[in-house]
Amino acid sequence: MSDRLCHFQITPYVMKEETWNGSHVFYANQTANVFCTEKVVDIAHKYKMTNFEFTPLEIANSAIDFPGVDYKVKDWRKKLVKDLEKHRKKFYEIRDKYYPVNPLTGKRYDEE
């Protein structure tokens, strides 16, 4: 098992700005994911588009049970902030209950 798979933390995708050509929909090397800017989410919201699931980059690798951005509600950005906070809290509660020791350091996460 790789370190990435067993290290139970929220690990966001980090985009290198110099590799981005400014497109609002794009791919990143070595991933099958399609990425987009908030402008795309705004368009999906404005035109009431369906069949999309948007996951914020900051939790993309740890989106266990994250329902996606609720872009259909009026103020989706405010709701997203609340949803992210609930997700982080739940994520760390699960981690601390079932995986309390960081396999990379051998220390408990709450001691790091």
pLDDT tens digits for range 33-77: 788 999 999 999 999 999 988 988 877 766 567 888 999 999 999
Q: Please give the pLDDT value at position 100.
A: 85
What does the domain layout of the chain look like in residue ranges? 23-100
Query: Mean pLDDT, the chain, as a whole number?
Result: 81
In the chain, % of residues over pLDDT 90: 30
**Alpha carbons 105 and 102: distance in angstroms, whole number:** 6
Residue 73 and residue 79 in contact, taking contact as beta carbons nearer than 8 Å: yes
Higher-pLDDT residue of 62 and 23 is 23
Choose among 8, 33, 36, 23: nearest CA to 92. 8
**Alpha carbons 103 and 61: distance in angstroms, whole number:** 18
Confidence of residue 87 (pLDDT cuts 50, 70, 90): confident
